[in-house]
Amino acid sequence: MRLRTALVALGCCLTSISFAVTKVLVVQQKYKDLPDEAVDIQIASDLSGELKKGAKVVTIVWSAADDLFRSYINDGTLVDPPEYPDNDQIRDVAKKLGVEYILIVQAMRQDKNVYPRGWFYKAGGKEIWSYQEKKGEGSPSFSVEIGGSVDMASVIDSIAKTWAIQINSGPLKDLKVDPRLRPIDPIDDTNAPLPEVTSSTGEEALKRADELIAQGRPDLAILILKDAIDQNPSEPTRRLKLAELLSKQGLHLLSASEARRAALLSPDNPEVWLSAARAEILAGRPEVAKNDVNEGLARGVTGAKAKRLLGDIHLMNGDLEKAETNYRESFKLEAAPETALGAAIVFALQGKTADAVGMIKAAEMVDEAKRSEGYAFAIQMIDRTADATGQALRDLIPMIRLGENREASEAQALDFSRQAAAFADILTLLSPPKVHLRSHVRRDLAQKLLAQSAAEVLAFARTGDPGMGGEATISLGEALYSLQAVRELHRLELEFGMIDPGQDAEEVEENVGDNSGVGVGVRNPGVDAL
């Protein structure tokens, strides 16, 4: 309620000169020269949301679903605006709304890739940023598959986050953060003054970035590091630090880009190539990561980290046997939580529940800080698989209704049901960092609901009962909605800390098991249930 009230209040303020803000009109156009087999993809709303997080501008999306844009229709400023405007119509509306900038976007999905285009203009018409095909290089694209499964939500999120940080730190670099535009903290509505950001170089930049991170302002730490990189682009250390920080903020594609530049600047350092590989894995590009690992191996790198990265790559590609081999070899060299959890996921998918439990127990032996990193990696893999499973089930239900290839549909439904149940088991065995206690409880329930809906789809495939198909459709919709809500809560926990601090922590801990430490543990009720 407070967030909606704040949005309405902001809309009112925009009509008054007493609250001068910088406005950006975000417009989605039809993809120019769209191939017959391709489809348009909507990314404007996601971009708007990410741009607003920078607290530099107010965004207005050209859509009746956008509160601010709709308010201009309601008050008569805009009359019957077209759904997909041309450039002349955009310029006319931009003038009426008094915006300072215009962001035009296009995106299409063709086969296994999304092809986005974007142009950022000053309202007067000057282009100041773009993302589009370059002569001789073809169109830049993002794969929509991870491990052979569709993951559209993550791809659109990555595009939005990557473009937003490029625009905020590029053409909007000199535009100051406006405290009035900062997202409202769900714990505390007060907006504390922003720490001063000044240019820094070398060790000063790294130290200042660490201070800002400790103050809960990773966004400003990113700007500090980018300034330092601009002053000395050929120094790789600060790029690696920036890549690490971007990755922790979920900006994996941008992180991978910085890590790759660092590797190219220091090509003889094998560890830098492994850092680039890790970033590519988190960005969902296992094939690129494999090339980076090979670069490291060619330069003599050995040990647990390289084996673990190969295990991650094979897991993402669906080669469970090779993933298991590399994880086992890595874990013998170093009991890293990422290795234990990666192996646990493999074992669960193979139906080796006892081995999965054993690997998660083994993860308890490492220090708590690293265990926390392991939890983050596990949640990422679980979320990606849940997205892919949910989309696959959604596509499978109408196929079952048609009654064609029933044996194939039943086989697919069985695979998805086993996969959803396996990941529900894995999630049951995890104990979260304290900051994620609340989202973990809800994620556990949402994952179980996904497993239930998958079982109902399987029953529908086996029986052909329309009533069962209806129940499966309803359950799947509830599961996907719950998973989306959980991820938003998880994001808020990362941004603001533990949500609802007045809640009895012991009560929450009773729901999720033994949470005496931070990170990965074994939830006793889950083990008993298995």
Condensed to tens digits (0 to 9), the pLDDT of residues 209-227 reads 888 877 777 778 888 888 8
Asked whether the predicted pLDDT for residue 455 surpasses 70, the reply is yes
146, β-bridge pairs: 149
Q: Which pLDDT tens digit goes with each residue over 477-495? A: 999 888 888 888 887 776 5
Query: Torsions phi, psi of 366, nearest 5?
Result: -85, 165
Whether 489 contacts 466, CB under 8 Å: no
Q: What single string gives the DSSP state of each residue in 320-333?
A: HHHHHHHHHHHHHH
Mean pLDDT for 401-410 is: 84
* Range with lowest mean pLDDT among 86-90, 99-103, 190-194, 364-368: 190-194
For residue 505, the Cα-to-chain-centroid distance in whole angstroms is: 28
120, β-bridge pairs: 103, 129
For residue 453, what are its two tokens?
């809906």
pLDDT for 457 equals: 93
Question: Dihedral of the CA atoms 179, 182, 184, 185 (nearest 10)?
Answer: -90
pLDDT for 512 equals: 39
pLDDT for 428 equals: 81
User: How are beta strands 58-61 and 23-28 bridged, if at all?
Assistant: parallel
The whole-chain average pLDDT of the chain stands at 77
Mean pLDDT for 105-116 is: 86
Q: Which pLDDT tens digit goes with each residue over 228-282? A: 887 777 778 888 888 888 877 666 677 777 888 888 887 888 888 888 888 888 7
CA-angle at 426, arms to 424 and 431, nearest 5°: 110
Collapsed DSSP state (helix, strand, coil) of residue 334? coil
Collapsed DSSP state (helix, strand, coil) of residue 146? strand
> Of all residues in the chain, what percent carry a pLDDT higher than 70?
78
pLDDT for 94 equals: 92
Alpha-carbon gap, residue 255 to 501, rounded angstroms: 32
Collapsed DSSP state (helix, strand, coil) of residue 134? strand
pLDDT for 363 equals: 64
Mean pLDDT for 492-505 is: 53
Give the residue, 9 or 488, on which the prediction is more confident.
488
Helix pair 437-463, 505-512: axis angle to 10 deg: 30
Alpha-carbon gap, residue 103 to 26, rounded angstroms: 5
116, β-bridge pairs: 107
pLDDT for 358 equals: 76
Alpha-carbon gap, residue 331 to 176, rounded angstroms: 47
pLDDT for 145 equals: 56
Q: Which pLDDT tens digit goes with each residue over 371-396? A: 566 677 778 778 877 888 888 898 89
Mean pLDDT for 13-19 is: 38
Measured from the Cβ of residue 98, the count of other Cβ atoms closer than 10 Å reads 12
pLDDT band at residue 46, thresholds of 50, 70 and 90?
confident
For residue 526, what are its two tokens?
């889950």
Alpha-carbon gap, residue 323 to 310, rounded angstroms: 7
Asked whether the predicted pLDDT for residue 501 surpasses 50, the reply is no
* Range with lowest mean pLDDT among 37-46, 101-110, 448-457: 37-46
pTM > 0.85: no
CB-based burial of residue 376 (10 Å sphere; 0-12 exposed, 13-18 middle, 19+ buried)? buried
Maximum Cα interatomic distance, the chain, rounded to a whole number of Å: 69
Alpha-carbon gap, residue 285 to 275, rounded angstroms: 14
